[in-house]
Structures are given as C-alpha cells and as structure tokens.
Amino acid sequence: MTERSSASGGTGLPASIEAAWGLRDRPVKGPKPGLTLDRIVAAAVEVAAAEGLSAVSMGRVAKELGASTMSLYRYVSAKEELYVLMQEAVMGVPEPLPALEEGAGWREAISQWAWAQRRMFGRHLWSLRIPIGGPPASPHMVLWWEQGLQALAGSGLSPGDKISVILLISGFVRNEATLMSDISATVERKGISAEEFMARWERTVRRLVDPVRNPELASLLDTGVMSEPGDPDYEFVFGLARILDGVEALIEKGAPS
C-alpha cells in the first residue's frame, strides 16, 4: 500500500511535478518492494534511447523490469508523469558556464547556455518528443531556466524581455535539434551518407522546379551550394548569432542616449 493524504499529496500540484520534486509518498508497507522509482525511470529511458519515445508504455517498462504493469502504478500514476521523470533524469543539472565564472558578458554566457542545451538534446534526441505541458516546473528544468536568467543578468533587459529571450533561444535550440534529428533518422533509415541524401534531394528538386515559376530556387540550385559538404554546426552557429544580434539591438535601443 501507499500512504498518502490525497491523490496530489495535499499540495495541489500536478502529480508529475510532485513526483519530480519528491513530494509524493511512495510504497512503505508490506514486503520490501523489488521496484524503485529510479529503476522504473532508468528502464523507461533505456527503452526510449533504443526505440524512441513512442515505444515507452507502462506495460513495456514493466516487462523490461520483470514486473507487473499494475505494480508500476504504485510509483508512477500515469505515462505522462513518467515522461516528466524521464526528462528530469536526462536533463540533469546544467553544466557550469565558463562565461559566468569568468565574468564575461551576457552574450557569451547565453551562447554557452544555448550550446549546453544543444549538447544535452544531442545525447537524448528522443526527449525532444516529450510534449511540453507548460512553463518549467520540475527541479532540473527550473535550474536550467535559472542559469539562463543568470546569463542575462548583466544585459540590462527588463524581466519580461529576459523571459522572452530565454523562450526564443530555447525554442531555436529545440527546433534545430529536432530538424537535425529527423534528417539524421531519414539518412540512417536509407543507409546513405548525409552528403548523398542532399545530392539526391537536389537532383529530385531540379527535375521538378520550373525556372519561370521558381526563378530564385532554380538560381540557387545552379550554384550547387545545397550539395556542398559543410560544417554540420553551421546552421546552429548562424541562427544563434542572428538571434543574439537581435537581442543586442534591442538592448542598444533601450539604452539611454
């Protein structure tokens, strides 16, 4: 049995957030349980890493643990709660930002923050498929936001603009990581290199594009730039720099003359 005063532990918080913060009571009576919350989450992460988030279900995780599906519900109330705990496990505590420790400017600090997020997602691409249910509320997500706000502390931005910048950069990081993940999955499924994938795409589009209706695209294809090998990080570097240029312009616009 599980001792708890109510389904939400009496805090009024969503069950998944209570679980992430350790505010929910766990089984304490009866024989020593063979399961732990950490084991359940670790098994779910292993399934997601091997087969994708869609493969994660309470039944599948129970099978991996050699337990009954119902036994998992003594620890996790629903799959959505499990998703939150899985995300917490892989996000971890954000790595230190050298720019903060060295007293560098806001631009370098928030850039390092964005790159750290990208590396985290790169190690756990499946986590990008977890639905976003609201503002950050779990422990590690709160720590990531706190670090981002610390990076912007000396920027001169208003509190509201700091939040907007955090959302803008986080969205860019997630979008770029998701796009690269999807392309990589397609390349892997086809069993070809990324260069060959782009070359095939270019050949296909060349056959379909009408120079009269699509003059700019036809001209672009004639340059061969789409199939040239390049830096895999270029688009991220380019996009992040343009975002930060915009933030810098916003700061300068708001500065007293």
Q: Per-residue pLDDT for 1 more than 50?
A: no
| Distance, CA of 202 to CA of 251 (rounded, Å) | 41
Report the range of poorest mean pLDDT among 22-36, 101-115, 127-141: 22-36
82 and 25, same domain (yes or no): yes
137 and 200, same domain (yes or no): yes
Q: What residue numbers bound the domain in which 74 lies?
A: 15-91
| pLDDT (0 to 100) of residue 6 | 39
In whole numbers, what is the pLDDT of the chain averaged over residues? 87
Question: Are 19 and 81 in contact, with CB atoms under 8 Å apart?
Answer: yes
Count of beta carbons in the 10 Å neighbourhood of residue 48 = 23
* Confidence band of 257 (pLDDT split at 50, 70, 90): very low
| pLDDT (0 to 100) of residue 173 | 97
115 and 182, same domain (yes or no): yes
Task: Establish if 137 belongs to a structural domain.
Answer: yes
27 and 76, same domain (yes or no): yes
199 and 241, same domain (yes or no): yes
37 and 120, same domain (yes or no): no
How many Cα neighbours within 13 Å face the side chain of 242? 6
Final residue before a domain boundary, out of 56, 74, 91: 91
The number of folded domains in the chain is 2
Q: What pLDDT digit, counting tens, does each position of 158-198 carry?
A: 999 999 999 999 999 999 999 988 888 888 888 888 778 87
Q: What pLDDT digit, counting tens, does each position of 58-80 carry?
A: 999 999 999 999 999 989 988 98
Q: Per-residue pLDDT for 113 more than 90?
A: yes
Query: What 3 state SS string does 93-140 have?
Result: CCCCCHHHHHCCCHHHHHHHHHHHHHHHHHHCHHHHHCCCCCCCCCHH
147 and 193, same domain (yes or no): yes
| Distance, CA of 95 to CA of 37 (rounded, Å) | 25
Q: Per-residue pLDDT for 35 more than 90?
A: no
Q: Per-residue pLDDT for 30 more than 70?
A: no
SS3 14: coil
Q: Per-residue pLDDT for 120 more than 50?
A: yes
| Distance, CA of 3 to CA of 7 (rounded, Å) | 10
177 and 197, same domain (yes or no): yes
* Confidence band of 200 (pLDDT split at 50, 70, 90): confident
Q: Which residue has the higher pLDDT, 8 or 150?
A: 150
Task: Establish if 7 belongs to a structural domain.
Answer: no
| Distance, CA of 230 to CA of 237 (rounded, Å) | 13
**Residue with tokens 């616009």, as numbered in its chain:** 253
Q: Can you give the CATH number for the domain in which 213 is found?
A: 1.10.357.10
How many Cα neighbours within 13 Å face the side chain of 64? 19
42 and 120, same domain (yes or no): no
Report the range of poorest mean pLDDT among 6-15, 84-93, 95-104, 206-215: 6-15
63 and 137, same domain (yes or no): no
Would the pTM of this model clear 0.75, i.e. be above it?
yes
**Which is it for the CA torsion 10, 135, 126, 54, positive or negative?**
positive
Q: Which spans in the chain are helix H?
A: 15-20, 37-51, 58-65, 69-72, 79-91, 98-102, 106-123, 139-151, 159-190, 194-208, 215-223, 234-254
Final residue before a domain boundary, out of 38, 57, 91: 91
